[in-house]
Structure 1
Amino acid sequence: MKLRLVNRMGLDQERLAQIAALVAECRPLLETGMGRVQELLVARGVGVMDSIMATRQLLGSGPGTLGEAKEIVLSHPSRSQERQQHQVLVDELLAGVKRLENSG
C-alpha cells in the first residue's frame, strides 16, 4: 500500500530506496528526539520533500502525519531558508488566487 501511494507521487525505485535507507538510519535517533533526526537529514543534504517523507515514515504514516512531518521539517532552525522560500511560494499562490477571484 505505501509503495503504491508513494509511486503515485512520481518517485522512482531508487529514490524510494534512498528514503527507506534514511528512515532506517534515522529510526535509532528518535530516542534522542526528532531534532537530532532533522539535524542528520540537513547534514546529509537531504531536501525538504525527502525529509518530509522520511519524517512521515518515522511518525508512522498515519492520518495527519504528513502535516505533522511538514511542520517538523520546516520548523527546524536549520531549515530557515527553505521555510522562507515555502512562505514566499504560499504567499504568491494566495495572491494569485485572490487576483483570480477578483477578476471574475
Structure 2
Amino acid sequence: MDMSSTQIWTIIALLGIGTFLIRFSFLGIIGDRELPEWVLRHLRYTPVSVLPALIAPLVLWPEATGGQPDLARILAAAVTLLLGVTTKNVLAAIFGGAGTLYLGLYLLG
C-alpha cells in the first residue's frame, strides 16, 4: 500500500485528536469531581490487571525464541510472582526475576 505524505500526516493528526478527546473526557470533564467509592475501588485493580496482560505474551510467546515457550522465561516469571507475593516488595520481585532470567538464559542457553 502506497500512501502519500499528506495521508499519513492526516491519519497521525486524527489519531492524536482522538486520543486527546479520550483522555480529556476523563481528566478535563470529571477530573475535579469526587468519584464514587465503588469506582475508586475498581480503579485500584487496574495496574494489577494491566501488568499481567502486558507480560504474559512476553513469557508465553517470546519473540526471541520465535514464539516458542522458553523455560528460562517461565522460571523468571514464576520467581517474580513468588517474590512479589511473599515480600510485597516490587524492587525485590523485579531484580529477582531479572536475575533468574539472566541466570536461566546463561545456564539453559
TM-score, shorter chain, exceeding 0.5: no
Compare the two structures and name the one with the higher helix fraction. 1
What's the TM-score once normalised by structure 1's chain length?
A: 0.30
Q: Which has the larger radius of gyration?
A: 2
What's the TM-score once normalised by structure 2's chain length?
A: 0.30
Q: Tell me which of the two structures has the higher relative contact order, counting C-alpha pairs closer than 8 angstroms and 6 or more residues apart.
A: 1
